[in-house]
Copies of this chain bind each other. A is one copy, B any other.
Amino acid sequence: MDEPFVIVGGDAAGMSAASKAKREDPELEVIVLERGEWVSYAACGTPYYVKGEIEELSELVAVTPLEFREERDVDLRTQHEVVDVDPDSSTVTVLGEGERYELSYGTLLLSTGARAVEPPFEGMDREGVFTIHSLPEADAIDVFVADTAPETAAIVGGGYVGIEMAEALSARGIDVHLFEMLPHVLDPFGEAVAEAVEAHLAEQDVTLHLDTAVDGFVGRAADGGAQTDGAEEPATDGTVGGVRVAEEVYPADVAIVGVGVDPATELAEDAGIELGPTGAIATDQYGRTNVEDVFAAGDVAEATHVVTGEPVHVPLALTANRAGRAIGQTVTGDPTPVGETAGTAIVKAFDLGAARTGIVDEERAREAGFDPVSVTISAPSRPHYYPGGSKLTVTLLANAESGAVLGGSVVGEEGAKRIDTIATALQGGLTVADLQGTDLAYAPPFSPVWDPVLTAAKVLEGKLA
């Protein structure tokens, strides 16, 4: 291959692909074009930076640009933005260092990621209103909190970003109100997790406003409180002072909007690359798009669900890393599937861990064509007599006819990582009977004889019989 492997976007998927391709074929020219300053960073770590548990944002960078350039021999160009892709001529157009230039590619990887959704709220552009999906956004929140010492925060969105930011801002002494449009927080985790997390958030003095649509943000009144007259312009300055919900205004000295992410598909669409049903780029099992020599991976691309076989958009780090790595292998002559996703996710909510994998609620299972049966059980994470255990609540879903495990959730102070047992069962296509018969590890400091996941399987097996 004479033409280079060109990668657009230098985070998890892009840098994994670059590193793997260079390792497999050191002769291959690999060029990464990243429009920002940062590459290969853990966006998932940003709430803990805001919380104050991580000192420097640079700690979130797994591999520095210098290491990519000097040790891995990747031609990494930060602050170079790709503004056009032309599959007919196999070129991309780049803006960087004040110049506009074209670059030919042999293979192209689009790993442009996703960006935080900016809902059309009134006052989204006020000072003190933030989204958070990148290191600069985390930095801006940290600086704003340090400078203005907010008393009250409004978090809009009860997904994992919202929950993590509630913990982070509470740790900085701020009174947190969390607004969620749906009846529950953490909707993709199912009801058992949501109820446990909601009860725990209340214990931690986070005020929950469920079933509550936010209309927008008002400015600060002259006395420092929130404007309540409904005027569009702030009385004093452009800084946020409150959050408007129907007829009410709650005070808020800072606001975080975390209502999801959208795949950054503009470049792909302009180049005639097909999107899938989720709105992300459609790919085959090798991460190929419909256009020759163009791959897509990470938060901009769809993945295949391990249970349903359907395309899904799961913008999570492991999926991105794995797909990037596989494409790096494929591009260098060893065709490697990008793998499937179970949508496995885990989140820390103060002292609770909450996790999910596969399909966790019956309604979604029916939509996917299954006849679901499910159980939710609570069991101790260690035997009653051993110090330090806590309650774990496990939900497990199966298909009635085949007995196949469809998914589940785990929530508790200790042991949420046990979701991995269920995720591995999904990967292996295990039935509930298989799972119930799995030889999991037992000793009193670690687990009861029947691990809570086994207990759930046992009870679900009884329901299936």
Alpha-carbon separation in the docked complex, A439 to B148 (Å): 41
Q: Does A386 contact B (CB under 8 A)?
A: yes
Q: Knowing A421-B424, A423-B438, A430-B428 touch, does A346 contact B44 (C-beta < 8 A)?
A: no
Q: Knowing A348-B445, A434-B428 touch, does A385 contact B439 (C-beta < 8 A)?
A: no
Of the stretches A83-91, A102-110, A243-251, A446-454, the one at the interface is: A446-454
A39-66 residues with Cβ-Cβ distance < 8 A to B are: 42, 44-45, 48, 53-54, 59-60
| B-chain residues with CB within 8 Å of residue A42 when the two chains form the complex | 383, 385, 444, 449
Of the stretches A68-76, A178-186, A412-420, the one at the interface is: A412-420
Contact between chains at A45 and B385 (CB < 8 Å): yes
Alpha-carbon separation in the docked complex, A345 to B346 (Å): 26
Q: Does A463 contact B (CB under 8 A)?
A: no
Q: What is the distance, in angstroms, from A275's C-beta to the closest C-beta of chain B?
A: 23
Stoichiometry, as copies per complex, reads: 2
The residue from B12, B316, B346 contacting A446, defined by CB atoms under 8 A apart: B346
The residue from B160, B439, B445, B453 contacting A319, defined by CB atoms under 8 A apart: B439
Q: What is the distance, in angstroms, from A335's C-beta to the closest C-beta of chain B?
A: 12
Q: Which of A343, A344, A442, A447 has the largest count of B CB atoms less than 10 A from its CB?
A: A442
Alpha-carbon separation in the docked complex, A238 to B321 (Å): 66
Alpha-carbon separation in the docked complex, A434 to B426 (Å): 11
Q: Knowing A321-B449, A424-B425, A425-B424 touch, does A439 contact B357 (C-beta < 8 A)?
A: yes
Contact between chains at B439 and A344 (CB < 8 Å): yes
Alpha-carbon separation in the docked complex, A12 to B444 (Å): 15
| B-chain residues with CB within 8 Å of residue A439 when the two chains form the complex | 306, 318-319, 339-344, 357, 423, 426-427
Q: Knowing A317-B449, A344-B439 touch, does A444 contact B357 (C-beta < 8 A)?
A: no
Alpha-carbon separation in the docked complex, A313 to B319 (Å): 40
Q: Does A82 contact B (CB under 8 A)?
A: no
| B-chain residues with CB within 8 Å of residue A454 when the two chains form the complex | 318
Contact between chains at A443 and B346 (CB < 8 Å): yes
Contact between chains at B357 and A442 (CB < 8 Å): no
Q: What is the distance, in angstroms, from A109's C-beta to the closest C-beta of chain B?
A: 19
Q: Knowing A427-B434, A430-B428, A439-B306 touch, does A446 contact B416 (C-beta < 8 A)?
A: yes
The residue from B334, B337, B421, B445 contacting A421, defined by CB atoms under 8 A apart: B421
| B-chain residues with CB within 8 Å of residue A465 when the two chains form the complex | 334
The residue from B59, B321, B384, B453 contacting A385, defined by CB atoms under 8 A apart: B59
Alpha-carbon separation in the docked complex, A449 to B346 (Å): 12
Contact between chains at B441 and A357 (CB < 8 Å): yes
Contact between chains at B440 and A344 (CB < 8 Å): yes
The closest CB in chain B to the CB of A438 belongs to B427
The closest CB in chain B to the CB of A54 belongs to B385
Q: Does A77 contact B (CB under 8 A)?
A: no
Contact between chains at B53 and A344 (CB < 8 Å): no
Q: Does A355 contact B (CB under 8 A)?
A: yes
The closest CB in chain B to the CB of A49 belongs to B385
| B-chain residues with CB within 8 Å of residue A345 when the two chains form the complex | 441, 443
| B-chain residues with CB within 8 Å of residue A44 when the two chains form the complex | 442-444
Q: Does A4 contact B (CB under 8 A)?
A: no
Q: Does A437 contact B (CB under 8 A)?
A: yes
Q: Does A123 contact B (CB under 8 A)?
A: no
Q: Knowing A318-B449, A385-B45, A416-B446 touch, does A430 contact B424 (C-beta < 8 A)?
A: yes
| B-chain residues with CB within 8 Å of residue A347 when the two chains form the complex | 443
The closest CB in chain B to the CB of A47 belongs to B444
| B-chain residues with CB within 8 Å of residue A426 when the two chains form the complex | 439
Interface string of A112-156 (1 = CB under 8 A from B): 000000000000000000000000000000000000000000000
7 pairs, CB–CB < 8 Å, chain A vs chain B = A42-B383, A48-B445, A318-B442, A339-B437, A348-B445, A355-B441, A427-B435
Known: A306-B439, A343-B439. 8 other contacts (CB 8 A): A44-B444, A45-B444, A318-B440, A348-B446, A353-B446, A357-B439, A417-B418, A424-B424
Interface residues of A (CB under 8 A from B): 12, 42, 44-45, 48, 53-54, 59-60, 160, 306, 316-319, 321-322, 334, 337, 339-348, 353, 355, 357, 383-387, 415-421, 423-430, 434-435, 437-447, 449-451, 453-454, 465
**6 pairs of A and B residues whose beta carbons are closest in the complex:** A428-B428, A346-B441, A424-B424, A59-B385, A339-B437, A342-B439
